[in-house]
Every structure is written in C-alpha cells, then in structure tokens.
Amino acid sequence: MMTVDIEKCIGCGKCVKDCFPKDIEIVDGKAKINNETCIKCGHCIAVCPMNAVSTDDYDMSEVKEYNKEEFSVDADKLMNFIKFRRTIRQYKDKDIEKEKIEKIIEAGRFTQTGSNMQDVSYIVVKDKINELKDLVFESLKNIGQNMLKDSKNGNALTKRYAEMWLKMYEAYKEDPVKNDRLFFNAPAVIVVTAASQVNGALASSNMELMTDALGLGTFFSGFFIVAAQNSKEIQEFLGIHEGKQAVTCMVMGYPNVTYARTTPRKEADISWK
C-alpha cells in the first residue's frame, strides 16, 4: 500500500499531477492516495519534494536521493558506448563473479514495464550449462530434420537453417569444446523470461549495457529461443513459470577479443510528420 506522511506533506500537488491512474487527490490540504487504481509505479515517491510518500510493497531502503554527479550520463559518451558495443562470440576461460551477474540482473529489474507489471524473471545457468547445451543442440537437430522432411512447404532460407543446425549438431557431438557454435564455451547464460515480450526485451537491452560496463561481453542467441520454444524438455529444465516465455538468451563471459573501433550502419529510416 502507498501511504503519505501527513506531517511531511505540504499539499503541493506534484504527486497528483504525476499520477497517471489518477489515484491521488488533495484532501484538506494534504495528498491522499486511495490505493484503488494505483499500479505502484512509485512516481509519487520519486516526485515528492518532502519525501512524504512510502510503500510497504517494496524495500524503501533501495530509494536513492537524486544528485547530479552520480545520476548524470554524458550524452556523447553514452552514444559512443552504444556504438562501440559488439556481439561477442569469443570468450576467455574465466568464470563470471556472482556480484557482476547480480548487477546485470539489477539493470533488468529496474527497467520499465508496461502497467508496472514487473513480470520479468531471470534464469542463470552456470553449473549446468553443459546439460542445457546438450538439450539445445538436440532440439535444433530435431527442428532441422522436421524442416527438411517438410521441405515442400519451406524455402531456401528454412533449408539453409535446417542444414546448418544438423551440421552444428554433428560437429558438436564430435568435439563439444572445439565445435561449440552455440554458446562458444561461454561460462554462463541468462535466460530472460516474461509474460510480455516487450517487457523482457526492454530489460534485456539495459542488461546488455550493464554487461559491457562491467567489462563483460554478450550476444543474444536467437537459435536458443527457437530451440526452447520447440522443446518441453528445455522449458522444464529451466523451470519457466507458467504464463511466461523465454524472450532472450544472453550468452556471456569475459571477451577474448579486442576491437579497435566502431562499425558503420545503414542510414536511419526516419519519417517526419
């Protein structure tokens, strides 16, 4: 429940103005939260100049007072940081510290979600990564075989992927370390699940930025998502909650490659109206 300390409240109305579901009103010169249409987004906590609003739904000790020095990011440096980001497929034989993984997940946890659903969950696979790898390669092999059997309804692209997955599987079985073309011997993966694909993708984007900021590298495995969506065994192994789906799979580790510059991109496709 959201509550207002009336001793601190000065009735300025900033919380009323910033409350999207219109759950706050001014009564007798003080803010009153009705807790009827409230989605617990916390805007009232953040906007109150007197720190008069609190909640027992979340840990209030996480709330930080704003100061420009710690909260500001230079726009040009941020742009360069984004441009220099690379998908990493070469990793050092080095474990990732638990504290860094927790900080990456924290970046996802504080990402906005539609209607403040906070429906994003995180599955970290480290100790059992080889078991997961076996399941994913097996799933891709089965998908590839089925695609080739039904080749009449396919096209050149589906055939190419099907043949690729079969070759990847055969090579992996021959040498699981040398021929790991799925996780590239990375020490960990984070599978991001959510009821809403948009919420999971938004969280993953911020998590990727934090991954780079911590000196780690990552890539989003689309092959993994295909494999997971078509395998009950993978879903049960991961323990994906009912009503949620695997949105992204972040393969990560310490990069074993160094880049010297950014890369070019297509011109932005913009329509000004």
- Residue 42: which CATH number? 3.30.70.20
pLDDT for the residue numbered 155: 76
Residues 80 and 189 in one domain: yes
- Residue 85: which CATH number? 3.40.109.10
pLDDT for the residue numbered 158: 84
Strand residues in the chain grouped as ranges (E): 2-4, 24-27, 30-33, 53-55, 121-125, 188-194, 217-220, 245-253
pLDDT in tens, 107-150: 999 999 999 999 999 999 999 999 999 999 999 999 999 999 87
Spatial contact of 52 and 31, defined as CB atoms under 8 Å apart: yes
Tokens of residue 13, six digits: 């109305």
pLDDT in tens, 189-209: 999 999 999 999 999 999 999
Residue 200 lies in a domain: yes
* Secondary structure (3-state) at 11: coil
Residues 212 and 135 in one domain: yes
Structurally, the chain folds into a number of domains equal to 2
Residue 269 lies in a domain: no
d(CA 131, CA 238): 11
Q: Helix-strand-coil percent breakdown of the chain, rounded to 5? A: 45, 15, 40
* Secondary structure (3-state) at 25: strand
Tokens of residue 257, six digits: 């490659």
pTM of the model: 0.94
Q: Which residues of the chain have pLDDT under 70?
A: 151-154
Residue 10 lies in a domain: yes
Q: Which of 44, 203, 61 is nearest to 118 (CA)?
A: 203
Sign of CA dihedral 7, 13, 19, 21: positive
Domain that holds residue 45: 2-62
pLDDT for the residue numbered 144: 94
Residue 273 lies in a domain: no
Tokens of residue 16, six digits: 């009323």
